[in-house]
Chain A
């Protein structure tokens, strides 16, 4: 277990290092050189000033030297400043990360509970199976940003029950983004939940439990569900990336502060440093979530090597 953990953490560190290098190289290709932006903002800057600024910020160095200097700073916890927001990057990251984790956690909970409930319906009532499968196929095809817009039109514009976006209004502002993100991720839980529960209900220990007089609810919740939890955790591990991608969409559509919106705003505002660091944080969080789901799987089912 310790060796596995060390290997997986090593893999995460390697992927992060490679990603940071690749992204650093590529971001050099983005439109908008920082010094040119400074010149555009202050036309009195002479070419000597520009050269001095370049030397001051190390922009006259070769790319690999700049990367090493930047990566060394990040490893020491110096994340630098955001040009776009005129704030230290670290001060922007924490609230955004908490906002996103709030959204992700709630959406995962709703998607998991509703998906498993649908799966259980399909497993217990085989006649409803095709209906649930059909719904899952449909739900997988719905573009999340479109669903978000429709929800805004219905609940915010027409009915006026819920805010159309932002973070004001406590839980009310969370309802629509969570619903959008949960719907986009529900299908996988319903499909795999149905398959895993049907398989678990066929096992001999279920017959034993029924023979001993356990009610249907107890059979399902106590005897079948724990066995079906392992494949569902596989889905959760595989879908971590998709969930985070969905959060970016939900945050942009509903104008909710969070990591996805931060990356989007940083890219749109040519704030390279902020975009890069936020991307790396999101990638690390996603990989750690996948690892946590894998570990939980092994803990639940020691047979998995």
Chain B
């Protein structure tokens, strides 16, 4: 019988296969190339419709390909995007917007005011499925004169122009979109941003090529590959092995370990992501003493130091440093004795604790479950016996939208434009589906601020509301998160407070 493989043939084939595989592995970035191991895959290339459009983490990729109406600097300040000027009229009845004349779509055609108007009208059309339709529908009757667009204000929204730098605030190409349709756009998206989509493997990677005609100047890296690596351990391995130059959102322990290694360094800056405990106006939470005691009993700095390795900023309100309505004079000290006094006034003690349930995710945010465990431990020492219920984030959204959350529920609130209406406003205003505390006093205080035309009065109004919320213990703000970015020391990364990781803001060093 003739054997299928001779021993020599088998060894030769094995050696050849080994050589093929060895040579086929991904290699570290070459000059002019950049590889990013990113934590979420792009789900759709329409940044204005569907769930992907309101996913804050996906905005970084969208911002590489598309331009927003208005841009945002690393410190949250607003800068020209496709619009170079924007304003309300003095009586707030009209808006005026000037469109830049040097922006070009990736197919070479110019970005026009018609594109801007079409994008705004499409966003305002309920049938397109833009989740932010409620904002974009507040202006109408557009008129174009040269590069200037004017429109009527149907309902005054003080933060309207800030929304233009926020979720779904992207300009899309009217003619191209109408030519290829929604499905064609998904397959071959074009924008006016610094990078063009060169190749896209859903769930795997997107390869971007620098757009030489970008109005802000071509970005430094010619090719950027963004790999979608959802598992944190795999992202750590990607950057540690040199397969990727940059990764983000890894455990803080790994961040500290990796930046100590040769060839790697990191950035860890506070971002617009707030860890908080929603309190629901039910059961024992109707007792102000219980609410305030629960807040006084939490040593936030200890949690940050012990669980988050020092990466975090303790907060007293839902407005973080850098936000428009941040007020550093509002503080909330750690005071377990005060907590005991308050509980005693309501008849509770360590031997006779007040009992309630606290809900939390596990692994959705860094150390979320562990933080709640620590807080429950702190509470136990003052006379609060809380039971932890773990759920996934989808259940949290559903329960919150139907106002069925437990008396306490951990969550993180993002607000990359730093406006108080999108932080304290919507999270504490009863009629909002995102609000948990629904008392009339807050509705009366926050409601008028949504349409306050005097910006100074509006901001001061939110500061006053924040102080009022703290005095009454309607919510427990915990901390401002820090986003860990690990990268090759050959790359210079500009961190954004908004949490965006923009390849166009990366340079070689």
A and B bind: no
A residues with a Cβ closer than 8 A to B are none
